[in-house]
């Protein structure tokens, strides 16, 4: 065993065993919380002064000491020590080096339990704001491309089979909606997590006459937690963002999968900027969509962090348990990976180019205007849709037998399927006519897309 622990020396005669000394510290990763930890300590110190628990001179010394420590860490001049376990005790130990015994008065009426909960809430709050900005930047890139391609016709798919022609702008706006919901989820999580646990102490509150509302206000929280047991043991404010990150990553993965398909020669619909692709070590002609593939792959890393913390929390009794220390690495990892993915996707979307001719060619394949023929039969001849569906199916079969598209069938051929069909049918069988006709709200008609672009700019940007 090692020498007596300087933090617990009053009760412990010896230090931790070697294995525990390795598993116990969190300073290697929770040092990221130094700004939040110092901000919380400054607010707590000022509250203690205002409440007469610290003198003005004591509070002034402590605040200046904390500011010096902040500068030392920012400048890379601070020595973090694993034996001090975490960011809180590292800062407190340095404060004692600077001030002597007065430094110990800062910890009056608080515990590391409410301190770390406060730090993490502040960190999560700041990171959610930063991620929201990245999502907005991605939406901007998508909206700009949607506006540029409001008239660009592409195949719309179900089951990855050509279904009906749509516009590329319409397709991109679908992702704008997805990421809009993601931003709403982050905003909800941020609002729910923006409450202060500071003053809950270890688990039962404190006997000192503190002012929790004052520290909450100083730190930008909108409220204080209502129950001290819940305040120190809750990690919903981490789990909820991680769940939202998982959904965002899934949306990014869906878009990545489409980009991977679209750039392949079989589709040939878009070209990605060189800066987000890489070549082959053996095949000089290759340009691989590696950035999109990596985003798709990182979805597993991001979503696994949610599952990790969920498993950590699932069996924890009230109140604080050291297991809760395991909230930070999953969050930091998921946040970092998601941030990278959002930046990469924004770069790809902003600079991709569309192969309009190839898109239109693919849109016309697979009898994609068959539904337009059925709709014409219903609208013009008053035919029940189910009957129109069967008539159209026979027309498609006839086109297959002749090896042509529907709009290449002669009027006589179409009349052999349904005698009442007239020349007007050809007004709806082109892909241009098809997309132009989809004028229902939310539909793919180019004028709709332009209107939705304007609405999306107003809603999201």
> Hey, which residues are catalytic here?
159, 280
* Cβ–Cβ under 8 Å, residues 130 and 339: yes
CA atoms 221, 226, 231, 237: torsion sign? negative
Tell me how far apart the alpha carbons of residues 209 and 203 are, in angstroms, rounded to a whole number.
16
CA 23 to chain centroid, in Å, comes to 30
**Are 355 and 269 a contacting pair, CB within 8 Å?**
yes
Phi and psi (nearest 5°) for 410?
-75, 160
> Are 219 and 122 a contacting pair, CB within 8 Å?
yes
Determine the Cα–Cα distance for residues 166 and 123; give it in Å rounded to an integer: 43
Q: Where are the beta strands (DSSP E) in 116-269?
A: 153-158, 161-167, 195-196, 223-224
Other beta carbons less than 10 A from residue 262's beta carbon: 23
Cβ-contact 24, 7 below 8 angstroms: no
Dist CA 346 CA 325 (whole Å): 33
Contact between residue 154 and residue 166 where contact means Cβ atoms under 8 Å apart:
yes
First to last CA, the chain: 59
């Amino acid at each position: 065993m090692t020498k007596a622990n300087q933090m617990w020396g009053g009760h412990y005669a010896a230090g931790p065993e070697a294995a525990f000394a390795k598993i116990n510290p969190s300073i290697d990763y929770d040092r990221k919380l130094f700004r939040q930890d110092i901000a919380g300590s400054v607010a707590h110190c000022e509250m203690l002064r205002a409440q007469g628990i610290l003198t003005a001179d004591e509070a002034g010394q402590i605040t200046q000491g904390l500011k010096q420590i902040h500068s030392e860490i920012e400048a890379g001049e601070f020595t973090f020590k694993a034996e001090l376990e975490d960011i809180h005790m590292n800062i407190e130990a340095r404060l004692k080096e600077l001030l002597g015994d007065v430094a110990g008065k800062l910890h009056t009426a608080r515990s590391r339990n409410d301190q770390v909960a406060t730090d993490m809430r502040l960190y999560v709050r700041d990171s959610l704001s930063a991620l929201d900005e990245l999502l907005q930047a991605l939406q901007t890139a998508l909206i700009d491309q949607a506006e540029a391609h409001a008239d660009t016709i592409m195949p719309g798919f179900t089951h990855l089979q050509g279904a009906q022609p749509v516009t590329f702008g319409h397709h991109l706006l679908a992702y704008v909606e997805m990421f809009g919901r993601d931003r709403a989820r982050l905003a909800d999580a941020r609002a729910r997590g923006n409450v202060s646990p500071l003053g809950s102490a270890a688990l039962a509150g404190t006997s000192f006459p503190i002012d929790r509302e004052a520290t909450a206000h100083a730190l930008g929280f909108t409220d204080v937690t209502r129950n001290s047991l819940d305040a120190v043991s809750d990690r919903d404010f981490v789990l909820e963002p991680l769940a939202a990150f998982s959904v965002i990553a899934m949306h990014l993965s869906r878009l990545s999968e489409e980009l991977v398909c679209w750039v392949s020669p079989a589709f040939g619909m878009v070209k990605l900027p060189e800066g987000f692709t890489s070549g082959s070590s053996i095949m000089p002609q290759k340009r691989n969509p590696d950035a999109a593939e990596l985003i798709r792959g990182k979805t597993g890393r991001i979503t696994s962090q949610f599952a990790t913390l969920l498993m950590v929390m699932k069996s924890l009794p009230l109140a604080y348990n050291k297991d809760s220390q395991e909230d930070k690495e999953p969050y930091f990892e998921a946040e970092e990976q998601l941030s990278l993915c959002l930046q990469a996707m924004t770069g790809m979307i902003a600079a991709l180019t569309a192969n309009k001719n190839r898109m239109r060619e693919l849109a016309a394949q697979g009898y994609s205007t068959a539904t337009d023929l059925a709709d014409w039969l219903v609208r013009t001849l008053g035919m029940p849709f189910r009957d129109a569906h069967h008539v159209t199916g026979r027309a498609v079969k006839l086109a297959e037998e002749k090896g042509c598209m529907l709009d290449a069938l002669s009027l006589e051929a179409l009349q052999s399927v349904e005698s009442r069909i007239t020349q007007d049918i050809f007004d709806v069988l082109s892909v241009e006519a098809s997309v132009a006709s989809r004028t229902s709200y939310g539909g793919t008609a180019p004028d709709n897309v332009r209107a939705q672009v304007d609405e999306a700019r107003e809603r999201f940007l």
